[in-house]
A and B are shown apart, each in its own frame.
Chain A
Amino acid sequence: MKKKQRASGAQNQGNSSTPRNPSVGVWIVSAIAVLALGVWSYKRSSTSAAPATAYHPRPPGTITFNKHIAPIVYRNCAGCHHESGPGAFKLVSYEEVRKHASDIVSVTKRRYMPPWLPEHTGPALADERRLTPEEIGLIQQWVAEGALEGDGSDSLPTPPPVQEWQLGKPDLIVELPQAYTLRADGKDVYRNFVIPLDQSERRYVRAMEFKPNSKAIHHIFVKFDRTHRSRKLDAEDAEIGFGGMSPPPTVESPGGYFLSWQPGRGPTRSPEGLAWPLEPRSDLVLQAHMQPTGKQEPVKPQIAFYFTQTLPTNTPVKVGLGSFKLEIPPGVNDYTVEDSYELPVDAELLAVLPHAHYLAKEMHAFAVLPTGEKKPLLDINDWDFNWQSDFRFSTPVSLPRNTRLHMRFIYDNSDQNLRNPHQPPVLVRYGSQSTDEMAEMWFQLLTHSPSELQALLADYDKRLIREILDYNSMLLSQNTTNAHAHIQVAKALITMGRKQEAIDHLRRGLRADPSEEEGHYQLGVLLMDSDPALAQTAFQRAILINPENFQALNNLGLIFLHFKQFSEAGAAFEKALALSPNDPTILQNIDLLNRTRSAPTP
């Protein structure tokens, strides 16, 4: 054996021009190269896309439910996933959470739960329901290691209490008088529930809480109707409420406010000094989106109102950007809608509300400041109609005058969009059915003074009127007998001083639908000076349709006064006053009547 080794050594020495083993120099160079590569790749990985907040695994076996997981679950999940909550199952005890461990890992990793559409890009949003990468990582590691409970030395935090009403005893509880029965299966159901409120005077609401009392309600919008139109629609059939996503235009949110509810959402509190008015003789209209659960569900929700005597010191304004002119061809997966509006005054942005139907996939709201700086406000990269909501900023966002607010939505009308209600896809236009589409980004703005508020309202009004004119003219081009569109066009034309064109549209609208109360009223207003007799007929028709139209009664009184029919005038004014107590306009007219009556006859 020794002989062999010596022979190979001698062989190496004798053949240095063709070495069998690399020389020392090559080894050194290779080592340096490897070292350099190691340093380069380490530096690269530490400055790469991996976020600074990525999860750092804990030592194995140290994560327990009691110490680490329960606080996460109680803070983010148990709000819905408790005994009487909207969640399908409870996630309060260790056993309950352990039972669903696998699913909890999948849904949190995907950020399907907790449900929260906006990305983490714009200014901080209030009540954000979002797990940190740390929390998601802890859950994953906990489950991977067998979901340990932990021993008694880790004191379990208290799960969130389940209360009757979270803000204490309400001032007013409104309930659907009779339960609506949602069918067991089929598509999602959109229905509007009408509840007359017996309020005889205006109240200011400082907070509101909605209780679905059913797992079938997916979201609602709270609106009011000061006319009887909703009631009439409700009464048209035996079923409670009336269907569809398109209640009449008399159904509105109060002033500049958004009032909505989604599972997990607690009470809605008005910011300081911004209590909103609940008008007398309003009907509450709950626009509900419900999802069949596999069995018939009785739906009997409740709303609690909390009032304040403190009058609001300011009024927010809702500015809506978007488009009525959507026309999304089938197969197109990146149809884009863009719109913008320049602020005429300084303002604070309080909240935003994006709205679209099933084809929207991305939604973006941003501001371009006068300096040119682009400021993201809200980004949603995977729109889910089921989780639509208004989003309040933790701190109002200050926007100086001449800031331009922008919206940009992208729609997918291809068959790859599994939420597409049309299979195969078809051309989709603006409309209020779930099979139509919408593009609306609402901004809730607060101005700093009454004069700035007026300036914003006036400026935005001009824009709104142009939009209403555009949109309704488009509707009329598709259907000349659309009475409502005629009346909307007429109202827009009135504000632009185009009286004769307005009268023409009102007449055409009323021919198409004589029950359009608003049409009769507006016609009366336009004809009051030029043709009081015709105006009288118009107002009387409006009152016949809606006996509570106090404005029509007031104007009728004025016409009777003009014709010196004093007792008829008095009766009309009295009726109007009963419907609108302390109304300064009506009181002035009564005074005028009395003075005219008692004036000596020439």
Chain B
Amino acid sequence: MIHSFRRIWAYRSLRELAFVLVLLVFLPSRVLCATYDCLERDGKASSIDPFRNQGSNATVFVFVRVDCPISNRYAPELNRIARLFSPRGIRFWLVYTDSSTTVAQISQHRETYQYSLDALRDPDHQLADRCIVRVTPEVSVFRRDGQLVYHGRIDDRYVDFGRYRAFAKHHDLEDTLTSILKGTSPPPSSPGVGCAISSYP
């Protein structure tokens, strides 16, 4: 009895070991080392892992769509924030999650809205899931140590479709980036308003 019990236990532990090994090898490479098609500012295309190309202080992912009017309306504000914080060790990425948007369309879109940010494609929504975003435009801010410190709206100008203030009262993205640089607490994550990233609710 004891002899067969030991054999079973040993077999089970081997299986578990194999399982853990698989997890260690494949899972991180799928999630933690994921690469995305990247379209840089100069038009150069490559495949890149943004978490290996972070800003010295923080990384910001800005989720947009070529055809979302709310997302597009934020282009000048996003460019302004990027210009302000890029020199201070913050890396910005535009992320396009719509699988039907082509590279040519992304290129055209960036030119039309004069975006100074590099772009990533995330058609499977892996990055979107990791960044906990639901709509465009929403942003996610990761500290250098990989911690997600903010996700959600850029500011509170939009409250709902068709309901917006003349001016924003809270500038959440800007405040988050300032807090990182100063070492203070970021504002709480607040959901944005815009076009759903997922086609289905």
A residues bordering B, Cβ < 8 Å?
88-89, 95, 98-103, 105-107, 110, 112-113, 115, 143-144, 146-147, 184-185, 187, 215, 292-295, 384, 386, 418-419, 421, 423
Contact = CB atoms under 8 A, between A and B. Distances in A.
Contact of A107 (B100, B161, B163): B161
Contacts of A103: 195-196
Interface in B72-110: 72-77, 98, 100
A515 B68 CA distance: 49
Given A101-B199, A185-B73, A386 B166 contact: no
- B interface SS class: loop
Contacts of A143: 200-201
B195 A384 contact: no
Contacts of B164: 418-419
Interface of B: 67-69, 72-77, 98, 100, 112-114, 159-167, 169, 195-196, 198-201
A83 B166 CA distance: 29
B165 A99 contact: no
Given A99-B100, A112-B162, A386-B162, A293 B200 contact: no
A143 B68 CA distance: 20
B196 A184 contact: no
Given A294-B74, A423-B165, 8 more contacts: A88-B68, A100-B199, A102-B198, A102-B200, A106-B201, A147-B199, A295-B113, A423-B169
B45 to A, nearest CB: 24
A105 B77 CA distance: 29
A419 B159 CA distance: 10
Contacts of A101: 199-200
In the A-B complex, the 8 residue pairs with the smallest Cβ-Cβ separation, listed nearest first, are: A185-B76, A89-B67, A102-B196, A88-B69, A294-B72, A294-B75, A294-B73, A102-B201
Contacts of B167: 187, 423
B161 A106 contact: yes
- Which of B100, B161, B199 has the largest number of chain A CB atoms within 10 A? B199
Contact of A184 (B76, B100, B165): B76
A103 B166 CA distance: 24
Contact of B72 (A98, A102, A187, A295): A295
A103 B68 CA distance: 11
A241 B160 CA distance: 32
A102 B200 CA distance: 5
A186 B69 CA distance: 14
A89 B70 CA distance: 12
Given A293-B69, A293-B73, A112 B199 contact: no
A384 B162 contact: yes
Given A292-B73, A294-B72, A294-B76, A419 B165 contact: yes
A88 B199 contact: no
5 contacts: A103-B196, A110-B161, A112-B160, A143-B200, A295-B72
Given A185-B76, A295-B72, A112 B161 contact: yes
Given A100-B199, A105-B201, A421 B75 contact: no
Contacts of A106: 161, 196, 201
A88 B200 CA distance: 19
Contact of A421 (B69, B166, B169, B195): B166
A418 B163 contact: yes
Contacts of B73: 185, 292-294
A89 B76 CA distance: 20
Contact of A295 (B75, B160, B200): B75
A106 B196 CA distance: 10
B113 A294 contact: yes
Nearest to B196: A102
B171 to A, nearest CB: 14
A293 B72 CA distance: 6
A264 to B, nearest CB: 14
B67 A184 contact: no
Contacts of A293: 69, 72-73
Contacts of B76: 184-185, 294
Contacts of A215: 69
A418 B161 CA distance: 13
B96 to A, nearest CB: 13
A344 B76 CA distance: 56
Nearest to A102: B196
Contacts of B68: 88-89
B114 A295 contact: yes
Nearest to B109: A295
- Which of A103, A110, A292 has the largest number of chain B CB atoms within 10 A? A103
Contacts of B163: 418-419
Contacts of A187: 166-167
A40 B31 CA distance: 57
A111 to B, nearest CB: 11
Contacts of A98: 199
A295 B114 CA distance: 8
Contacts of A95: 100
A147 B162 CA distance: 26
A99 B65 CA distance: 12
Contacts of B200: 101-102, 143, 146-147
B125 to A, nearest CB: 13
B165 A418 contact: yes
Given A112-B161, A143-B201, A146-B200, A184 B166 contact: no
Given A95-B100, A293-B72, A102 B161 contact: no
A99 B98 CA distance: 8
A43 B90 CA distance: 64
- Which of A115, A384, A419 has the largest number of chain B CB atoms within 10 A? A419
A380 to B, nearest CB: 14
A112 B160 CA distance: 10
Contacts of B201: 102, 105-106, 143-144
A292 B201 CA distance: 29
A295 to B, nearest CB: 5
Given A187-B166, A295-B114, A423-B167, A102 B199 contact: yes
Contacts of A419: 163-165
Nearest to A107: B161
Contacts of A99: 98, 100, 199
Contacts of B98: 99
B52 to A, nearest CB: 31
A414 B69 CA distance: 28
Contact of A185 (B77, B159, B161): B77
